[in-house]
Structure 1
Amino acid sequence: MSKYIKEIVIGIGVAALLFLVYIGVNVLPFLTIAAFVGVFFYFSRPKGSGAMTAGVDRRTKAKVPTYLTFDDIGGQDRAKNELKEALDFLIKQEEIKKFGIRPLKGILLEGPPGTGKTLMAKAAAQHTNSVFLSASGSEFVEMYVGVGASRIRDLFKDARTRAQKENKDSAIIFIDEIDVIGGKRDGGGQHREYDQTLNQLLTEMDGIHTQETPRILLMAATNRKEMLDSALLRPGRFDRHISVDLPDKKGRLHILNLHAKNKPLAMNVDLEKVAEESFNFSGAQLESLMNEAAVYAMREESPYIETRHMSAAVDKVMMGERSDRESSKAERERVALHELGHAIMAEVTTPGSVAQVSLRPRGQALGYVRHNPSDDQYLYTKQELENRMMVALGGAVAEEMFYGNRSTGSRNDFDQVLHMVKMMMDSGLTNLGIIDRDMVTKDELMKENQRIVEQQTSRTREILERHRDVFQQSLSILTKEEELSGTEFRSLFKQINQRTTA
């Protein structure tokens, strides 16, 4: 209908101009004014849309989600309970008045990528029966001064309008990647476009009146909370900061079960074991894992998703797709000895921890050992860190034992070792004791670092020398099979050791 009204107005305007020309009136001033007005509205509108309000309306309408509930989100029980408690301020309005509580104005969800922050914002709208509008921080960044601030104003205005139109008491505005517009201001006196947008957001949040209906709640997500401006983080703006962390084993199992509902799993698939193998996976990675396992099953034209498909999917999500690199026999043997060094040290220090030994290239790795931690672990003793260091050093030491030198394949292993040494120093687990790095010279740090690495390298060499027969007798099997499961490797390890000690 609006299209026809626009055409009618334009037609009347043209007819009026023609009539003025016909009666001898000078229409040049009218045309000049019309041109200036047209240019002004053209540059004021958001990119790729008509008027500002219409642009925001179309954008937010396109992003209204299919609502989901908190039960559809796995692995975040603590964060969900904390968010539900905060959302009660929108629901239990009579109790709020009774105790004189000020309703929340903002909730900040912070945590690693893929942990479900956006999903929790959508579930919050369903939980509170609110209008839901979403936007990304990048949508407010423009080269024209004032456009971002204008879009912030229109977003809040649109939220109120929609809530009134849909007869709802509240609206939730969700801004993803808020660090794009909410970053710390430099304080150098420069008036940047980002600062104008942030200032407008702060003003709008201050204007969210506690007794106003419909109520507006701002939710935002970020992976980098430390980059946000302090004015945005203070109480009265973002009143609640909820951490959405990587799921633990129980949470990973819940997420896997959610994504397995529409997939034909074989009877031998143990999702609890997959949850153990996927330590430090985010919810998005777990969804990708289930999807990739289904892809592998479809490629093989298998009616069910088997355990081998799940194992291959874990490897793909963790390290990437298999590579088509063709390596020489000598290189394959070096890689095999390198990976056997890792596997033997893992089996000696933590029996039963090896999940797979593979020579099949994935991503940038020519081979790999996948470990299978039985329980999630967040604290480590000095002994445990030293054991992990020896596992990481096992590959380089094995190359030295059989070739007399190392290769570039140990680069990532050494990065892990240095990270663990740093962790030991910062935790007061070295001969330096409890230290402040700024109060210790670089020479002292380097000497302690060298002492620890040399000590663990020596211990690793001692252990691997005692298992030299395992290298020699399992090398041909691994290069032929290209892949050994943890069970196969342990069986081979025990058989060779029994023959050696007999």
Structure 2
Amino acid sequence: RPPDVLQVSIAPRTNAALGFAQMLPRDQHLFTKEQLFERMCMALGGRVSEAISFNKVTTGAQDDLRKVTRIAYSMVKQFGMAPSIGPISFPEAQEGLAGIGRRPFSQGLQQMMDHEAQLLVAKAYRHTEKVLQDNLDKLQALANALLEKEVINYEDIEALIGPPPHGPKKMIAPLSWRDAEREKQDTGEEEAPQQPPLRGEEQS
């Protein structure tokens, strides 16, 4: 299904990012396991489409893969969404404090959580691969439109691949978008699932 995208561009905006997707900000604070899984699939779209289209991958998906990894570990370690681990939650590791203090779980449990996170990512990759294989014509249409225009917006995407199956997306005024972005910067909020998780994202 089409992601909650305002605009997609292949025009570089910095030295690090060769293009980006501007996402709708969200006021949702609770997410189901299925919704988080879909977000992983959405973030994996670029890497999977590279592999399908060119039979090789580049470093361009690094930020997306970081998001996918963070979501998977959050589901397993914080949100209690891995049946084999159970409904337990551990605090997120603080950057720069590695080796300080003691882990609240054993090495064996850490290995189990690593395994569960890897399984989640692998399952999301396979699902994303199937979705793109089943919709290669739409992938090609979007790619051709980007090559022609460099930037496409929500209306362009809807015209190319059809409306979202669950109804039209709620559009917001540019002022509301700027306010949401400013608030995110002021609070230092990241794009990965946190508390509250995943308020807004921007894919590189």
State the partner residue of 1:365: 17
SS at match of 1:429: coil
Q: How does 1:450-465 map to 2 (within 5 A)?
A: 450-465=118-133
Instruction: Give me the whole-angstrom Cα distance separating, in 1, the residues matched to 2:148 and 2:66.
Output: 30
Q: Which string of whole-angstrom CA distances, capped at 9 and with x for unpartnered residues, describes residues 113-162 of structure 1?
A: xxxxxxxxxxxxxxxxxxxxxxxxxxxxxxxxxxxxxxxxxxxxxxxxxx
Determine whether 1:480 maps to 2:148: yes
Q: How does 1:172-211 map to 2 (within 5 A)?
A: none
Give me the CA root mean square deviation. Answer: 1.8
Instruction: Give me the whole-angstrom Cα distance separating, in 2, the residues matched to 1:452 and 1:474.
Output: 28
Deviation (angstroms), 1:463: 0.8
> Match of 1:438, as an amino acid?
F
Instruction: Give me the whole-angstrom Cα distance separating, in 1, the residues matched to 2:156 and 2:140.
Output: 16
Q: How does 1:133-172 map to 2 (within 5 A)?
A: none
Deviation (angstroms), 1:417: 0.6
Instruction: Give me the whole-angstrom Cα distance separating, in 2, the residues matched to 1:472 and 1:388.
Output: 22
Instruction: Give me the whole-angstrom Cα distance separating, in 1, the residues matched to 2:6 and 2:133.
Output: 23
Which of 438, 462, 473 is the aligned partner of 2:105? 438
Determine whether 1:389 maps to 2:57: no
Higher helix proportion: 1
Q: Which string of whole-angstrom CA distances, capped at 9 and with x for unpartnered residues, describes residues 439-479 of structure 1?
A: 45332122111110111111111111111011223322211
Deviation (angstroms), 1:372: 1.4
| Structure 2 unmatched ranges of 5 or more | 91-103, 164-204
Structure 1-normalised TM-score? Answer: 0.28
Higher relative contact order (CA 8 A, sep 6+): 2
Deviation (angstroms), 1:399: 0.5
SS at match of 1:412: helix
SS at match of 2:73: helix
Deviation (angstroms), 1:393: 0.5
Instruction: Give me the whole-angstrom Cα distance separating, in 2, the residues matched to 1:381 and 1:421.
Output: 13
State the partner residue of 1:133: none
Aligned partners of 2:141 and 2:160 also within 8 Å: no
**Aligned pairs, how many?**
145
Deviation (angstroms), 1:438: 1.3
Instruction: Give me the whole-angstrom Cα distance separating, in 1, the residues matched to 2:73 and 2:144.
Output: 38
Determine whether 1:424 maps to 2:72: no
State the partner residue of 2:183: none
> Match of 2:139, as an amino acid?
F
Determine whether 1:469 maps to 2:137: yes
Q: Which string of whole-angstrom CA distances, capped at 9 and with x for unpartnered residues, describes residues 384-441 of structure 1?
A: 1111111101110101111122110111001101111121111101122123561453
State the partner residue of 2:61: 410
Aligned partners of 2:8 and 2:152 also within 8 Å: yes
Determine whether 1:379 maps to 2:30: yes
Determine whether 1:449 maps to 2:117: yes
SS at match of 1:423: helix
Instruction: Give me the whole-angstrom Cα distance separating, in 1, the residues matched to 2:139 and 2:65.
Output: 22
> Match of 2:41, as an amino acid?
M
Which of structures 1 and 2 has the bigger CA Rg?
Answer: 1
Deviation (angstroms), 1:485: 0.8
SS at match of 2:105: helix
Q: Which string of whole-angstrom CA distances, capped at 9 and with x for unpartnered residues, describes residues 164-196 of structure 1?
A: xxxxxxxxxxxxxxxxxxxxxxxxxxxxxxxxx
Aligned partners of 2:43 and 2:67 also within 8 Å: yes
- The percentage of aligned residue pairs carrying the same residue is 29
State the partner residue of 1:354: 5
SS at match of 1:362: coil
SS at match of 1:355: strand
| Structure 1 unmatched ranges of 5 or more | 1-344, 496-502
Instruction: Give me the whole-angstrom Cα distance separating, in 1, the residues matched to 2:52 and 2:80.
Output: 33
